[in-house]
Copies of this chain bind each other. A is one copy, B any other.
Amino acid sequence: MAAYPPALLRLITNLSRLPGVGEKTATRLALQILRWPREEAVELARSIASLHEKVCLCSHCLNFAETDPCPICADQSRRSDQLCVVEDPAALMAVEKSGVFRGRYHVLHGLLSPRDGIGPQELRIKELLSRIPKEGIREIILALSPTAPGEATAAYLRDVLNRSGVRVSRIACGVPMGMEIKYVDEMTLRLAIEGRRDLSA
């Protein structure tokens, strides 16, 4: 029985290591790259190869950046006493895109998940605690997903941070914009009702 050429199999194997990419998807992607003009494939290869050279972690917020401190931590117009704690750089970007938060961030690079062997030591919690006295942090907003690992992480951080005397809050859980109430699961709806905002004058 025939097989794909070795160079193609090598790429399929490498692409299969990406999250959510199985052998079938990897094969489809590899065959597509083979159809591209050669210079576009080379450009993709270069952008992957140069990624680790150029991108580092900001030593303050631990977000991916090409400078240290990153543009957000270096921005003097942002509040320096307020930290928003996020799971990863993608969550940071989502909060940043909302445009409502004008303090600084702290990236945990993960969530607690005992099942996967991820305990507090695996997250950047030590770094978070050391920032509180060093940067004079007064409020920490936990922008963690309302999922099992997000809940566990928020509960753990609440306990740890309360001991440090800093004010701790967590972003609201509720019905997302544009979603019809009848399609919302009961747990979300319960939290949305419990977290109702007073509109009385």
Contacts and interface: CB of A to CB of B under 8 A. Distances in A.
A8 B93 contact: no
Interface string A24-62: 010111111110101011111111111111110000000
Interface in A93-120: 93, 96-97, 99
B33 A44 contact: no
12 contacts: A1-B97, A2-B70, A2-B72, A4-B93, A11-B47, A11-B51, A14-B40, A14-B44, A20-B28, A33-B51, A34-B51, A41-B52
Interface of A: 1-8, 10-11, 14-15, 17-21, 25, 27-34, 36, 38, 40-55, 64-66, 70-72, 88-90, 93, 96-97, 99
